[in-house]
Amino acid sequence: MRLTFLGATGTVTGSKYLLESGARKILVDCGLFQGYKQLRLRNWRPLPLDPAALDAVLLTHAHLDHSGYLPLLVRSGFGRKIHCTASTADLLRVLLPDSAHLLEEEALHANRHGYSKHRPALPLYDRHDAELALRALANVPFQTDLDLGDGVHARYTRAGHILGAAMIRVQTAEGSVVFSGDIGRPLDPLMEPPGIPGPADTLVLESTYGNRRHPAVDPEAELADAINTAVARGGVVVVPAFAVGRAQMVLWLIARLKARRAIADVPVFLNSPMAESVTAIYARHPDDHRLSAAECAAMGAAAHYVTSVEDSKALNLRHGPMVIVSASGMATGGRVLHHLAQFAPDPKAMILLTGFQSGGTRGAALLAGASSIKIHGRQVPVRAEVRQLESASAHADGDEIIDWLRRLGWAPRRVYITHGEPAAADRLRQRVQEELRWPAEVPDYRETVELGGG
């Protein structure tokens, strides 16, 4: 059994793992690289494998850094099933067409304004590619064996993190391996805590926050302080939020804060058709989160939905105070860029980041105190206050990952630390080795390792 790391090494994006057992070739996750240009360029290069030779794709969850390459994979010849949980499938039916639409719009905008080096600029993939990928989706129930042929089986266990997220255990005649996916937090406001997968010889472990500890801050209190601060000076709060997970958490917290009058009753706008659709999906999967039907309804009613392009543009003509929640979470694309271009120069405004900001993204630049950010080919000055909701992460921190590992009840023969910036991955490697006495290493991009059983 062999494992090749085709992404999420030295970065939190581009998750792809090729698992080979006998004649079987299985791709676990199929994500886009995001952030630094040298990473994004990998999206344009052919994979070092024949997509037509793959027997299956197993997805841990719907975020684009784990799923966003699927349309390219299908366009390149993959013709088998893409296995995921029912919630993940519903989310992908929203995310993949939206991702394709944004790529098309970005190429169109670049051609119209002439800021691309390519003539003409082309999208990485289009909506037709996304639709073909969606036809290949196959639902997998949690805690049910999936027979992939030749003695290879997979089992999905809840990971928390976002709706439908899973850890995947793959069992073959030669051994077993668990892919952690993204591990959620034990006390997430929306999601149940991560479960415990069955024992395995090898563990592929995420490390997004492997070198950090989330502060013990009440998320409601932290959000209330941010909104009240901006409202007091008449400012606009722009919240770049991942359309899946973080946007819903922000809406839920705002609903609770307004219900007890902890914040002013200022208008709140959700300017992300994708996030609006995702919010409705929560009600269809009550077993996959903590909220009751009434709480889902309250979350959905917390904002005015902005659907048309004209209404989106009109928001930029309004004055504060107000709150605008819009995708994407790391400000890599989408409607939020237009709001940042409008309000980032305003000292009364606040830019409120809500999740991990990968290196090379506008969100990371904002968090680092950049005096300007490049949007649609021009530099936009940043005079607005920039904050990050420290309590809003959907990822377990270093302590929470170690606690989860202690609860496994089994010890892997080898741990491969992935899906983290270099400092985070190496720090978690050290802790796994020193505190748990488990062999651990950080693999390189495109490295192949032999996995033994026993």
- Which tokens sit at 196? 């415990």
Question: Is the same domain home to 305 and 207?
Answer: no
CATH number at residue 433: 3.60.15.10
Mean pLDDT of 84-92: 97
Kindly state whether residues 373 and 428 are assigned to the same domain.
Answer: no
| Best CA proximity match to 252, nearest among 235, 275, 232 | 275
pLDDT above 60 (res 453): no
24 and 93 belong to one structural domain: yes
Q: What's the pLDDT tens digit per position in 398-451?
A: 999 999 999 999 999 999 999 999 999 999 999 999 999 999 999 999 999 999
Query: What is the signed CA dihedral for 100, 69, 11, 87, rounded to 10 degrees?
Result: 80
Mean pLDDT (the chain) is 93
Mean pLDDT of 214-229: 93
Q: Which helix (H) or strand (E) holds 274?
A: helix 273-284
Return the closest-CA partner of residue 38 out of 426, 373, 360: 360
Rg over alpha carbons for the chain, rounded to the nearest Å, is: 21
The reported pTM is: 0.89
pLDDT for 405 equals: 98
Measured distance CA(264)–CA(261) in Å, rounded = 7
Q: Does one domain contain both 277 and 407?
A: no
Assess whether 154 and 254 both reside in one domain.
no
* Domain co-membership, 253 together with 133: no
- Are 229 and 272 part of one and the same domain? yes
116 has pLDDT over 70: no
> In this structure, are 244 and 261 located in the same domain?
yes
Bridge partner residues of 120 (DSSP): none
State how many domains the chain has: 2
* Arithmetic mean of pLDDT, 126-154: 97
Task: Give the residue numbers spanning the domain of 232.
Answer: 219-392
* pLDDT attached to residue 120: 83
Lowest-confidence segment of 36-45, 238-247, 334-343 by average pLDDT: 238-247
SS3 call for 205? strand
pLDDT band at 272 (very low <50, low <70, confident <90, very high): confident
φ and ψ of 155, to 5 deg = -135, 135
- Is the CB of residue 271 less than 8 Å from the CB of residue 324? yes
For residues 370 and 411, state if they share a domain. no
